[in-house]
């Protein structure tokens, strides 16, 4: 095992690189898109902003469902993610929706422009989540609604946490990376404090449980380790050590089998706020 000098740094993800494989997650997290659409309470004529829309969600789901009854502007900080989203829009011939590269911390829109602002699994990944939320609030019309989803605490994301634990116990405490950034806003009170500091006075936060089903262990292992959060910590180990981690995980996953499939619960937090 070799511990690189930057091993205590946060294991951040290259989202341009992730654009090649991100869509494998879309079926798993679609229930969050449905929940956000319902929370956002969309009406005909709404101007909607989707921040950190990645490869297009939840914007594409909204565009397919509402057609030109709403106008959607979707932005993301990674150009390659935006390119994937734009290609889907073009292929499906969807109208009333545009995708553009843009950082959440500097939204290039006038204040009071949008009726609805949504974001699925983006805010906790911003370089500056507070500045991003302030910007999201600034561009909302007074009385406009925001609906966002972030991940809960990391140990509540069962499908990743199980493998993470196997990896961490093989690293010396001083060489362990911090918990993944995806879980930064999960600890109790963090999202609430951030929304308040960003100027939101009226909001509600509630947990949302996502059930992930994997057909077999190989599928579970591949989808969770080929890219994303676990790839960098796994890459610190030799091929033999990675095989040992995989073998150990295959034993720990046994209690999660139900009727031949692996079923794991992952917790998100949904927030609905009024500007
Ligand atoms: C987990 S993906 C979610 C994508 C999409 N919303 C979905 O749920 O399918 C997170 C996205 O946040 C984007 N992102 C991270 N930091 C950002 C920032 N500061 N401004 C805009 N987008 C950002 C990444 O480029 C990535 O596409």
Per-10-residue mean pLDDT, the chain, length 275: 40 88 96 98 97 98 96 98 98 96 98 98 98 98 98 98 95 93 97 98 98 97 92 93 96 96 98 97
Q: How far is CA 116 from CA 31, 147, 192, in A?
A: 19, 8, 20
**Coil/strand/helix, residue 160:** helix
**How far is the centre of ligand 1, averaged over its atoms, from the C-alpha of 122 (Å)?**
4
CA angle 131, 133, 136 (to 5 degrees): 110
**How far is the centre of ligand 1, averaged over its atoms, from the C-alpha of 169 (Å)?**
30
| H/E run at residue 39 | helix 26-40
Pick the CATH number of 15-274 from 3.50.30.50, 3.40.50.150, 3.40.50.920, 3.30.2090.10: 3.40.50.150
Give the residue extent of every domain in the chain. Answer: 15-274
Tokens read off for 15? 């989202």
* Selection from 234, 242, 266 nearest residue 11 by Cα: 234
Tokens read off for 144? 């406009």
Is residue 151 within 6 Å of ligand 1 at its C-beta? no
Is residue 103 within 6 Å of ligand 1 at its C-beta? yes
Q: Say how far apart CA 180 and CA 159 lie, in whole Å.
A: 14
Q: Say how far apart CA 127 and CA 124 lie, in whole Å.
A: 8
C-alpha 114 chain-centroid distance: 22
Tokens read off for 63? 């565009």
CA angle 83, 26, 20 (to 5 degrees): 40
**How far is the centre of ligand 1, averaged over its atoms, from the C-alpha of 45 (Å)?**
26
| H/E run at residue 240 | helix 239-252
| H/E run at residue 90 | helix 79-92
Per-residue pLDDT, 11: 56
**How far is the centre of ligand 1, averaged over its atoms, from the C-alpha of 27 (Å)?**
17
Is residue 184 within 6 Å of ligand 1 at its C-beta? no
**Residue 238: CA count within 13 A, CB half-sphere:** 4
């Amino acid at each position: 095992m070799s511990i690189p000098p930057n091993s205590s740094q946060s294991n951040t993800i290259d989202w341009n690189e992730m654009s090649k494989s991100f869509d494998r997650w879309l079926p798993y997290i679609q229930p969050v898109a449905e929940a956000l659409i319902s929370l956002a309470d969309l009406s005909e004529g709404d101007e909607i902003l989707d921040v950190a829309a990645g490869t297009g969600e939840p914007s594409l789901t909204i565009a397919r469902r509402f057609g030109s009854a709403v106008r959607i502007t979707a932005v993301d900080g990674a150009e390659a993610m935006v390119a994937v989203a734009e290609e889907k829009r073009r292929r499906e011939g969807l109208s009333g929706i545009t995708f553009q590269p843009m950082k959440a911390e500097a939204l290039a829109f006038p204040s009071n422009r949008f009726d609805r602002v949504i974001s699925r699994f983006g805010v906790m990944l911003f370089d500056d989540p507070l500045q991003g939320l302030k910007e999201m609030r600034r561009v909302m019309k007074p009385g406009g609604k925001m609906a966002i989803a972030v991940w809960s605490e990391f140990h509540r994301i069962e499908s990743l946490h199980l493998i993470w634990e196997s990896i961490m116990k093989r690293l010396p405490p001083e060489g362990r990376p911090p918990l993944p950034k995806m879980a930064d806003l999960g600890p109790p009170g963090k999202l609430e404090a951030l929304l308040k500091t960003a100027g939101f006075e009226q909001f509600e936060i509630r947990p949302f449980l996502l059930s992930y089903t994997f057909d077999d262990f190989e599928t579970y292992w591949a989808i969770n380790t080929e890219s994303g959060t676990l790839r960098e910590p796994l890459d610190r180990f030799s091929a033999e050590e990675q095989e040992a981690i995989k073998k150990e995980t295959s034993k720990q996953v046994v209690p999660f089998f139900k009727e031949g499939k692996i079923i794991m619960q992952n917790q998100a937090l949904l927030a609905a706020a009024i500007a």
